[in-house]
Structure 1
Amino acid sequence: MTINQRIKKLRKSLGMNQGEFGQKIGMGQAGISKIEQDGNTVIDQNIRLICQTFHVSEKWLRTGAGPMESDDVSTMLARLQEEMDLTDLEMRLLQTYFSFPAEERQTFLAMAQKFAARLAAEKSPEERDRQREQATLDAVRQEFRDKRDSPTSTPSTITTTAK
């Protein structure tokens, strides 16, 4: 199978016509028709565009060897970004994380787990405020009970005598 045939195979596997496929990589339908014809040269720029846009292994596209889908981290992250609608910040975080060696990623994860455990153990500012308010309310209630139950307290009702 030639590179031209592999491009056509890829396009058909994506369920696209030549115009749709070309639009994704900035080419017209006629340009795609031309690069799908056996014997026509496909320039490196178009090969890279096809691989990046459709997450295809450059090795497969050029030689037919290996799987069609690319398995490099940037391609997988690009797919994830599309599927999960990730923001630029989320993408930068993931790219940075995966740029570290596996051992450093494990160290980072261990630290993140400790951080999360500490956060979970701490009370939120709102919870601390509720506890303070409850403690104040409990103290006022107790003070009221103490005054009410004190033997020196005077009745608050006025008794009237019948005439």
Structure 2
Amino acid sequence: MKKRSIDTPIPMALFGAVVMVMALMISPAMAANPCAGAEQPGVDPSLVTRPEGTELAKGDPAAQIKLGESLFKDTSLSSNGFSCDTCHAENASFNASFAQPYPHEVAMAVERGGITSVDLDEMVQFCLVVPMETKPLPWDSKELSALTAYTAQLQKAFQKAAHP
């Protein structure tokens, strides 16, 4: 049996078709991830930096986590139809630094806001302002407290997966 090289018409056509299909699959995914590129303008750090002396709302931790899980998937929090889950479904789009205790450096906060260290509640606010293109939540709101509590739960699971 004679071997075909990549230069023959059938393998080249097949190769071209595979490349085309992959490009069509990847392009929408990249476009759908608002965190993927640095095309967005910078963020005013005062929008996402907790004012001194401000505390998150207190409440029953289990109730906060339950509300936070619901809010994490709620597209009505954004102006563009995204939710936290759009980028972070099943721990997607978390960098390895997510396993580190907060406060710590987060690449998106550095790149978009020049902020070198964030607490978890500030990162929640940052995600609301940047990828979700909306206003930050009030610092003393039950919604911010709940999203922060739920994200802390996700972080614990992420830490266990990173360090089994």
Q: Higher helix fraction: Structure 1 or Structure 2? A: 1
> With structure 1 as the length reference, what TM-score do the two structures score?
0.21
Higher relative contact order (CA 8 A, sep 6+): 2
User: Larger Cα Rg: Structure 1 or Structure 2?
Assistant: 1
